[in-house]
Structure 1
Amino acid sequence: MAETKRVERPLSPFMIGPYYRPQMTSISSIMVRITGIATLGTVALLVCWLVAAAASPAAFDCVNWLLTSFVGDILLTLAAWAVWYHVLGRLRHLIWDLGYGVDIGFNEKMGKAMFIGATVLTLITVLVV
């Protein structure tokens, strides 16, 4: 009986580079996790703002200055993008759970739509608020 030759290949998709080409589905899945963590950080920052408001006027002025400064505007804009991206990612998973859109071509389009949709929704949020 002839011996089969084992193919030498990496065992993990985390070997990005010559062994693994990132795909839109994996990038969008990783981004959903990252935006979930970023949203947690945003909630912590807003809780600090509320605690500072309850603590003293000086503490509130300090935290409020940070949130209303240029840096705060950038942070809150990025936080809005993270929240919208995460919401769209959860919506994508709901669609998958219902049994729709599980083919690769549709998933790649949905991944691109999540990036574009989060950006458009963030711009709308910034312009309205």
Structure 2
Amino acid sequence: MPNKMLPLLSIKLNNFLHRIDCKATIIALVNQHGCSLKRIRRSKNWLLTGKQSQLVEVSEQLQVGKTMWIAEAIGKALPKPSFDLTAIVLANADMTINRLIVETGCTLIEARVAIDKAEDLA
């Protein structure tokens, strides 16, 4: 059975050198988790590349201080999980729109559509 290759994700880190204290420490951390961090041509922007699981591990290590912005950039670039919102509403009879949005990260419109569909099915 062939091993499926997971796609590499690339995250642009603007003004990388100006926003961190020690470049070597960040590069060592990134390399330790199997990712790469390289400068984009001659600009002040850098590119962080890795698999989703590797980037999550790096993000967890950078949740403090001046590196928090890197963790936030990683979080924004990661694919969002998908949920069957209607099934969630059907499973929880007391589900509100606000609670659905908070628990799944869906939009207000998606939550309203899911609740409407659930009410039609019930």
TM-score (ref. length: structure 1): 0.27
- Structure with bigger helix share is 1
Higher percent of residues as strand:
2
Larger radius of gyration: 1
Greater RCO structure (CA 8 Å; 6+ sep): 1
